[in-house]
Amino acid sequence: PASARSFASGKSLPPTYERLFAKYTDVRKVLATQRLTLAEKILYSHLDNVEESLLTNTSGGRDIRGNANLRLKPDRVNMQDASAQMALLQFMSCNLERPAIPASIHCDHLIVGSRGAGQDLDAGIAANSEVFDFLESAARKYGMEFWPPGAGIIHQTVLENYALPGLMMLGTDSHSPNAGGLCTVTIGVGGADAVEALVGAPWELKAPRILGVELTGRLGGWASPKDVILRLAGELTVRGGTGSIIEYFGDGVETLSLTGQSTICNMGAEVGATTSIFPYTQASARYLHATRRARAVDDVDALQSFPGPGASEDARFRFEADAGAEYDRVIKIDLSELEPHINGPFTPDLATPLSKFKDVVRDQKWPEKLSAGLIGSCTNSSYEDMTRVESLLKEAAEAGLKPAAGFYITPGSEQIRATLERDGTLDTLEGAGGILLSNACGPCIGQWRRQDGVEKGTSNAILSSYNRNFRGRNDGNPETMNFLASPEVVTAMAFAGSTTFNPVTDTLPTPSGKPFKFSPPHGLEGPRTPFESGLPSLGVLSQDADPSVQVAISPSSDRLAFLDPFPPFPQSDLAGLRVLVKVTGKCTTDTISAAGPWLKYKGHLPNISTNTLNTAVNAETGQVNAAYDLDGSRHTIPELAALWKARGQEWLVVAEHNYGEGSAREHAALQPRYLGARVVLTKSFARIHETNLKKQGVVPLTFANEADYDKIAAGDQVATVGLYDMLQNEGKGHVQLRVKKGTGEDILIPTNHAVTRDQAGFILAGSALNLLSKGI
Ligand code: SF4
């Protein structure tokens, strides 16, 4: 009871911290002597059943990391407009009145950046009104918070409004770990995972390893928080953080702004980390005050001073790692020695220190002319970022200089935009010739309609303060070389219009003839008075669930369609399946469900399914996207799948290694299931995709003997042996496939599987949602 957890002052913990503290007490009972990192404290304090996860799956709680299956109960879910569509459609199929935990929807990905904020926003709303209306009506019906187009980018809005130290959140976007700057554990997931949390079911995660980054010293000169993660990405590479949480610690942490910490956490996604986290610092408290959440500072103080289990001082819940906590690996970065970096092109881990960039550009024959500099986005649009940029702009204006390259600014939220406007920074940015884009993702996600005459196919270089730089990511032009840097470096180089300019050492010519050299940037960590809220029309819509609201989906829509539940598994083994296609080589989630123009159909399963496996290579013919019907007629793979679906012919796909690598894209599992896939048989699977298949009721099997891949062919008839028993025995038992060849020959192919107890239940029910909607 709250009264039992009161202070001498009579102050009690808020319900969130009540729960956190109660679970933490359970964690300490199980792991009495273990020193925990901060990430572990928060993560394990969100377990559904502490003992079950930490003890029974491990030997005495000693080998949790990398081994235990954690069944977690997150505090909230945040969704962006592109991924929210399928998440909400799945949630709706559960027939619940409201989500079990708070949730928010953010309209940010669908707005194209082109001519400037006002025009772009109007055009974006007009082009996507159907999707926005759907999202808003769903928000009203289920009592989710709705942030309209123009309100801001999900991660900035979440940081400003929802992130609180100690929370565990899921976000349907890979940069959700941005909120780790404010001491939360926030993990990017697919829509089906989000729905599990929304219906109140435990969400499963293999216990991550903990990668420690020790920061010492203090940033100086041109170095910024962005350079911490740019430098780290160079060391870890795009896969170095896989399966790990990155936890920052050390004296240097105290010297960083809260928003700087968030920038670093945001880009942990670029090294594949599960999430990233910083401890609570004075900067966290200052940010909470600036965002008008002073009450949260009191609550944190209350929790941190509340007597812990056994009332010993070191058993209190502190928003930092226990002294002596062990990390699986530690990387040290001395901030005082850190140099600005520029990463790219085409991959975020190709890191070059600024002092060497000029030489690398010339060696590699990259374009020396810079066509555009873009600052802001969810990664780098903080008050600190923008006021540091402002210091450069003012100096350059005094010298009579204007940017020589296109200069674009994307505020992360209406709140930051309005505050910059109030404090005069926006005037400086626009006065310098900067084009203010809407508070939305825009050029960061390919939603950039360039007006600067750079045509598709033209080789050119751009520099952004964003987080990702895959080929074609910004303007859809594969010939645009996209480099990542801090907003300050982007700005200075935009003035030079050159990729070989080093603002630390080089000068620019001025109208007066006197060479101009930038001083190192300086700015304010946050506004002197709390942030402005901005335009009321861009504020949040927040209301209780209203079951009377009709969710807006037109029956004639080609972008949205209600989901019908998948039928349950038959009460027997599967018989009469046919191999639709045998594919060879890499088969990523992009191969199975392409992105790009197909993003438009994310809320329409029948329409997006027409891209299924459309870049897969047929192992028997070497052709891309070719499959053959039993009469020998040639079709595209999705066409044949649709034909077979219409005929009631269920099927399986045969593939090679690491099937489904890439992203957590749930469409890659939903689409085959929708078209009639019952089994996917491979040499191996990417872990997340394998799980996604099971969640949608498809059985992933691997060859016990890889050589059997050569024995099975498209069109073969397949029956399962032992599958139904295995599912009924909660995942225990072996499965074989009886394959009837076109020649009449019968062969038996032994397989392996990794179906757990829960997953067997999902498959039997037809999908995870079928089961969850019954049980909650
Ligand atoms: Fe993703 Fe870019 Fe939008 Fe951030 S700004 S949420 S990285 S698309």
The answer to whether 702 and 684 have CB atoms below 8 angstroms apart is yes
Predicted local confidence at residue 775, as pLDDT: 61
Burial category of 68 from C-beta neighbours within 10 Å (exposed 0-12, middle 13-18, buried 19 and up): buried
Residues annotated as catalytic are 108-109, 173, 468, 663, 665
**With left for phi above 0 and alpha for psi between -120 and 50, is residue 303 left, alpha or beta?**
alpha
Cα(108) to centroid of ligand 1, in Å? 8
The whole-number pLDDT of residue 169 equals 98
CB of 375 closer than 6 angstroms to any ligand 1 atom: no
Closest CA to 180 of 246, 107, 81: 246
What was the ipTM of the complex prediction? 0.99
> Which residues are within 8 A (CB) of 574 and not within 5 positions of it... i.e. 6 or more apart?
650, 678, 679, 718, 719, 720, 723
- Count Cβ atoms below 10 Å from residue 622 Cβ, excluding itself: 10
Residue nearest to atom 4 of ligand 1 (CA): 378
pLDDT of 4 reads 40
HSE of 241, CA atoms in CB hemisphere, 13 A: 27
- Cα angle, residue 709 at apex, residues 706 and 715 outer, rounded to 5°: 160
Place of tokens 């969810």: 378
The ligand 1 atom at the shortest distance from the C-alpha of residue 410 is 5
Say how many Å lie between the CA of residue 32 and the centre of ligand 1: 41
Ligand 1 pocket residue status of 111, Cβ below 6 Å: no
Beta-bridged to residue 342, according to DSSP, are 352
Please choose from 104, 147, 155, 464 the residue to mutate so as to test ligand 1's pocket, defined by most ligand atoms within 8 A of CB: 155
**pTM more than 0.80:** yes
Regarding the beta carbon of 484 and ligand 1, being less than 6 Å apart is answered no
Residue with tokens 């407009």: 81
**368/351 Cα distance (integer angstroms):** 18
Distance 187 CA to ligand 1 centre (A): 15
> Tokens 């498959």 identify what position?
763
Give the residue, by CA position, lying nearest to ligand 1 atom 3: 441
**CA geometry: angle 171, 488, 226, nearest 5 deg:** 40
- 11/392 Cα distance (integer angstroms): 47
pLDDT score for 529:
97
Mean pLDDT per 10-residue run, the chain (776 residues)? Answer: 42 89 92 91 96 71 83 97 93 92 96 95 95 97 98 98 98 95 94 92 92 98 98 94 95 98 96 95 98 97 79 75 95 98 95 98 98 98 98 98 98 98 98 97 92 95 95 90 98 98 98 97 98 97 96 93 94 98 92 83 95 96 97 98 98 95 84 98 89 95 98 98 98 97 95 93 93 73
- Distance, CA 123 to ligand 1 centroid (Å)? 19
Q: Is the CB of residue 603 less than 8 Å from the CB of residue 561?
A: yes
User: What is the CB neighbour count within 10 angstroms for residue 244?
Assistant: 26
Sequence-distant (≥ 6) Cβ neighbours of residue 712 within 8 angstroms: 579, 582, 654, 681, 718, 737, 739, 749
